[in-house]
Structure 1
Amino acid sequence: MELGEQLSRQRVKHIVSSYQLEGNEAETFNSSLEDLLRAYSAPLIELALVEVLVDSWLQVPMAKGCRFLTKVQEHLKAWEGQEIVSAIAPEQFQQITGLDPTPIFGPTGMPASQPPIRPLM
């Protein structure tokens, strides 16, 4: 695994651990997360995690574990083959994750190797 790919995976794992998204299903959650990392790019997974996280804050109790990851996968599938328009701005992404938004939104707010991710705002 290349260094860049390792860093991308670490970013995803940082988001998961920061918000304890695996819940009480760590082994199953991590296995499902690995499946997603094989199927989708880590930056897309990061963005999907954050978008589902923000949506989940409105639900009590907040979904975690495999239920949360199922919502992330549904989000990713909805984006397949189309331009990605994000409800999250780069600045919000950084505030929520504590991570640099550039790998997700690119230096100009658009990624170089994927369909454009545009904030709605």
Structure 2
Amino acid sequence: MSDDLVFDVFARACASRETLEHVTGRWGSLTLGALYEGSFRFNELRRRVDGVSEKMLSQTLHALERDGLVHREAQPTNPPRVDYRLTPLGREIAEQLRGLIDLVEGRMPQVLAARENYDAERTPAAP
């Protein structure tokens, strides 16, 4: 495939839109963010991404692997051992995501205050 192709995520049929969805969806972004910390086995990753079901994590990892962001390595041991880690492209994307995650976490006091103000303005006063 040529590197001079033009992609436009705002175009309905653009392939980049599907990848953006994989990266920015709840489980995709959390999985990439966790894998930025290092290699994980499936159940370790499932514990790290608290709340994800086994099925959703499996689907998420499959999509990210297909997009070339995650590498799955199966060890020929008994019992089998499978490790997941970021590819160089996945690491580059996860680094950007971690910046966003850190920004959101760091700004939560302002977010919570904004929510409180929003709710207070929309809640009818008690008689």
TM-score by length of 1: 0.30
Relative contact order, higher structure (CA 8 A, sep 6+):
1
> Could you say which structure has the larger radius of gyration?
2
* Higher percent of residues as strand: 2
TM-score by length of 2: 0.28
